Structure 1
Amino acid sequence: MKFADLLMQNAAERGLKYVFGLPGSGFPMDAMEAGRKAGVEFVHVSHESSAAIIAAYYGAGLDTAGLAIGVKGVGAGNMAGGIANVFFERKPVVCVFEAGPTESNVDLVQVADHSAMFASITKSFNVLQRPTANDTLRDAIALATDGRSGPVVLDFPSDFDDGDCGELPVESPRYVEESPDSGSLERAQALIDRSNRPLVVVGADVATTGASQDLMTFVEAI
C-alpha cells in the first residue's frame, strides 16, 4: 500500500470525512486522489495556517487527531503559525509535509529544515521511512491525542517516491500512557484521609481525557 493510500484509509477508519491543506504538486496531489478513493474530501484552504487550525478543531470534535497536508518549505512555513496556535490551544492534529530529499544537504528551491522550524511548537517531529511508515503514522496519531493534545509533524521526503509501505496495522497504538503505581495512590489516599477541607484543583486535561465523571465521583466521595 502506498503511503498516500495508507494515510487516507487511516483517516477514513478514524471517522475523518475531511482533511485540509493547500496542495501544490507531488505528494499532496497523490493524497487528494487517495482521499477520493477512501471517501475523504481534501478541503482547499486559502492559507496553510488555517488548515492546521481547522483540522485540529475538527479532529478534537471527533475525539481523534485531525489531518493537515502541505508542501515543503514555503507551505510548511505558512502552516507554522497555525501549528503554533494549535500547540498553545492543545488540540490534536497530524501535519504531513512533503520535504526535500533525505540525502540532500545543499540549498534547494523551497527547501527548509522542518525539524528546526517546528521543534518548539510540536509534540513530536518525524521523517517517514518506507519500512516503518505505518508504525510512525500510528504513533503520531496516538501521541497527538495523548494527555495534553497537540500537533505532530511528519515529513514525507520527495525521494520517497510513495513506494509500498505495507498494510494498515490493526493492532492498538504502541504509545500507551502509564498508570500511577499503587504506592503513589496509597500515599495520596493517606493525605486525603488526614485532611479536613480538601481542595481539588483541576485543569483542561480532565475533559480531554474523558475523566469528567470520574472526577465528580472522586469529589463527591471526599
Structure 2
Amino acid sequence: MLLNGAQILVNCLEEQGVRNIFGYPGASILSVYDALAGSSIRHVLTAHEQGACFAAEGYARRCGRAGVVLATSGPGATNLVTGLADAYMDSVPLVAITGNVPLSQLGHDSFQEVDIFDVSMPVTKYGMIVKSASEIAPAVRRAFALAESGRKGPVLVDVPSDIFDCAAEYEPVVPERAVPPSPDEESVAAAAEMIKRSSRPLIYAGGGVGSAGAEKQLLDLARLIKAPVTVSYMGIGSCPPDYEKYLGVLSDINLKATEAVSECDLFITVGARFNSRFGAFNGIRRRRVPLLQFDADRAEIDKNLHASHAVVGDAAKALDMLIPLLAEKEEAEWVYTSLPDVAEENRGTRIIRALTRAMGRDVTVTTDVGLHQEWAAHNAEIYSPRRFLTSGGLGAMGFGTGAAIGAHFASGDVCLVITGDGSFNMNFNELTTAVKHHVPLVVAVLNNNALGMIRKLQTARKVKGSGVNSLYLNVDYAALARAMGARGVTVTEDEDIDEAIDAALDGPLPLVIDFRIPINTGI
C-alpha cells in the first residue's frame, strides 16, 4: 500500500508491538504526530525531552522491550543526549526517532539544524540517517532488532522532515524476535570444573541476570554451591533479600560483601560489568582470585578485570546448562558472617526502609543520583528484577521521576521515586506529566537543603568555605507539588517516620513527601 513516510513509521512501530511512546513535538516531527492521531499508540507528552528519554528508559527497564522516544530537530534532539548516554552505559534497549531539517537544507546551518547522528554516535549502539521514505521501514525494523539483541542499547533514527511527507510502498511484516545466544557446551563444562575445584565461591550478579530472566537459575546455583550472592546496582532484585546468603549491593560501605570478596577463592560474575567505583575489584586483581565470567556480550570479557574463564551467551541458558553438571557443595566457613550489616544508619536510610515496606513488594522503585541513591541501593527491599531502576553507569541526576512514569506505563505499577532536593530540582517539571496522565507516583524528597554527595566529598577533601554544596533554598516541595496539581506533604525532622508515612500514603496519587533531614545526614 502507498503511504507517506510518517504513516510508514507509525505502522512499523505498531508492527513492533509499541503501545506507548514518549516525546515532545516540534516542527520537524509534526507529520509523525499527525500519523499517530489515527493509530493505536498512546503518546505521552512530557515536560522536557530529557524527561521523555528517561521515561522511555524506565519503560524499557521495567518490561524489557525497547522504549521509544520522539523529538524534533536541534535542541529537541540534543536534549535526548543525556538519556541516550544513560541507556548506552546501562545497556537499556531504546529507539530514539528524531526529525531534522529538510534533506535539501542539511549541512547549510539551517534553523534548528544539528548533526544529531554525529553528536550521538559515542552514546548509541547504532545510528541511521534516513534519506528516502522507502528507507523508513527497514531502518525502524533494524533499529528495534539492534536495540533488543546482544548487549542491548539505544539506537537513533534521524529523519529529515520532508521525508515524512514523501510517499512509498509499505508492506507489513511480522517482526522476528532476537534469539538469545546459546553458550558453547565445552565452555560451560570448563566453568563447572572451576566451580567444583573451589571451596568458597562467591557470586556477583548484575543487570544481565534480570535482562535474561535468569533470577531463578541464579538462586538455584547459589543454593546448590552454597555461595553468597552480592549484586551491582543494576543487579538489585536478581537475588531476593531473604536468601540466607544474600549480601546486598557490593560497595565500599558494605562490610560483609567486601569481606566476602576478600575471602572467596572463586569470583563468579553473571551479567555484571566492572568499573573503578569500588575498591573490592582491586582486591580481586591484587590477590589474583580466579574470575569466572558469564556475559552475553563478548566485548565485556576481560574489560577492566581479566577473566580466568568466560562463558559467552544468554545467562539463563548458560546457568540451565551449568547446574546439572554440579553437585551440592558443603558449607564453608566465612569470616564475613561475623561482621555487621551495612554500617550506615541515619534518618534517610530509615525513611527508605519504612517506605518500601509500607508500599509492599509490588512497588517499583526509581532513584535519582546522590547520597539517597546509595541509601536506597542498600536499604530498599526489592524481591525481583526490574523493580529497582537507577542510573548506574552514567549517574544522571534527574533520572528518577521520568523513569517512574515510563515504568508505570510498562507495567501499571505504583512507583516510588527516591530523590534528593538537588536531583529533584533538575526535573521536577515531570511531576506535571504524572498529574496529567494520572500516574500513581510517590515522590520521596530527602531534603537536606544541600548537595549531600558533594558536601561529603568536599568534607573528605577538607575543602572549606566554597559554599557550592549548600543549596540555601529551603524550597517547600509539598507546596510545589500542590501548585502542579499533585498532593504534597511535609514530614519534619522530629516526626515519627512510620506514622508520617502511613498518614501520607492514605490519599490520592501522585504524591510528593518532603522529608526534612539534617544537612549533614550521611556525611
- The answer, yes or no, to whether TM exceeds 0.5 is yes
CA contact (8 A) 1:32 1:41 kept: no
Aligned counterpart, 2:172: 168
2:250 alignment partner in structure 1: none
Residue 23 of structure 1: aligned partner? 25
Q: Which AA in structure 1 matches 2:155?
A: V
How many angstroms does 1:68 deviate by? 1.0
Equivalent position of 1:214 in the other structure? 217
One-letter amino acid matched to 1:146: S
CA 1:218–1:163: 2 relative to 1, 3 Å:
farther
Tell me how far 1:132 sits from its aligned partner. 4.0
Distance in 2, matches of 1:177 and 1:157, equals: 34
TM-superposed CA distance for 1:171, in Å, is 4.0
Match of 1:183 in 2: 186
Determine whether 1:38 maps to 2:25: no
Q: Residues 68 and 192 from structure 1, CA distance in 2 versus in 1: closer, same or farther, beyond 3 angstroms?
A: same
- Classify 1:168/1:84 alpha carbon distance in 2 versus 1 (closer, same or farther; 3 Å): same
1:157 alignment counterpart = 160
Code of the residue aligned with 2:68 in structure 1: it is L
Instruction: Name the counterpart of 2:112.
Output: 110
Q: Which residue identity does 1:209 align to in structure 2?
A: A
2:199 is the counterpart of 1:199: no
Alignment-mate amino acid for residue 105 of structure 1: G
Within 1, Cα distance between the matches of 2:18 and 2:134? 25
| 3-state SS in 2 of match to 1:146 | coil
| 1:98-155 residue CA offsets vs partner (Å, 9 max, x unmatched) | 1244564332221111122112222221122544432321221233233544321111
**Residue in 2 that maps onto 1:141:** 144
Residue type at the aligned position of 2:33? M
Deviation at 1:182, TM superposition (A): 2.4
The reply to whether residue 79 of structure 1 matches residue 89 of structure 2 is no
Residue matched to 2:128: 126
Larger Rg belongs to:
2
Q: 1:89-100 residue pairs with structure 2 within 5 A? A: 89-100=90-101
Instruction: Output one character per residue of 1:37-81: Cα deviation in whole Å (capped at 9) or x when no partner.
Output: 222222222211111111221233333111111111221112223
Contact 1:59 1:92 in 2 (8 A): yes
Unmatched tracts of structure 1, length 5 or more: none
Q: Deviations over 1:148-195 (max 9, x none)?
A: 44321111123424432522321404x655322223222212222222
Q: Which amino acid in structure 1 is aligned with residue 108 of structure 2?
A: V
Supply the distance in 1 between the matched residues of 2:15 and 2:63 (Cα, whole angstroms): 12
Q: Aligned in 2, Cα 1:3/1:216: closer, same or farther, shift over 3 Å?
A: farther
- How much identity, in percent, do the aligned residues show? 30
Deviates more, 1:115-124 or 1:81-90: 81-90
- In structure 2, what is the Cα distance between the partners aligned to 1:29 and 1:159? 11
3-state DSSP class of the match of 1:196?
Answer: coil
Any conservation in 2 of the 1:134–1:165 contact (CA below 8 Å)? no
In the TM superposition, residue 200 of structure 1 has moved relative to its aligned partner by 2.0
Tell me whether 146-155 or 10-19 shows the greater mean CA deviation: 10-19
Give the 3-state SS of the residue equivalent to 1:67 in structure 2. strand
Whole-Å Cα distance in 2 between the matches of residues 165 and 156 of structure 1?
Answer: 17
Higher RCO, Cα 8 Å, sep 6+:
1
Name whichever of 125-134 and 180-189 sits farther off. 125-134
In the alignment, the residues of structure 2 paired with residue 98 and residue 49 of structure 1 have an alpha-carbon distance, to the nearest angstrom, of 16
Cα pair 2:6 2:31 within 8 Å, conserved: yes
Name the stretch that deviates more: 39-48 or 145-154.
145-154
The gaps in structure 2 that reach 5 residues or longer are 226-523
Aligned to 2:52: 51
Q: How does 1:55-70 map to 2 (within 5 A)?
A: 55-70=56-71
* 8 Å CA contact 1:131, 1:165 repeated in 2: yes
Aligned residues of 2:15 and 2:175 also touching (Cα < 8 A): no
RMSD of aligned alpha carbons: 2.6
Change (3 A) 1:59 1:199: closer
Task: Report how far residue 94 of structure 1 moved.
Answer: 0.9
- Contact kept, 8 Å, 2:15 with 2:173, in 1: the verdict is no
Give the secondary-structure state (helix, strand or coil) at the position aligned to 1:199: strand
State the distance in 1 between where 2:205 and 2:147 align. 21
Corresponding residue SS for 2:27: coil
What's the CA shift for 1:203? 0.8
- The CA deviation at 1:3 is 3.8
Distance of 1:56 and 1:69 partners within structure 2: 13
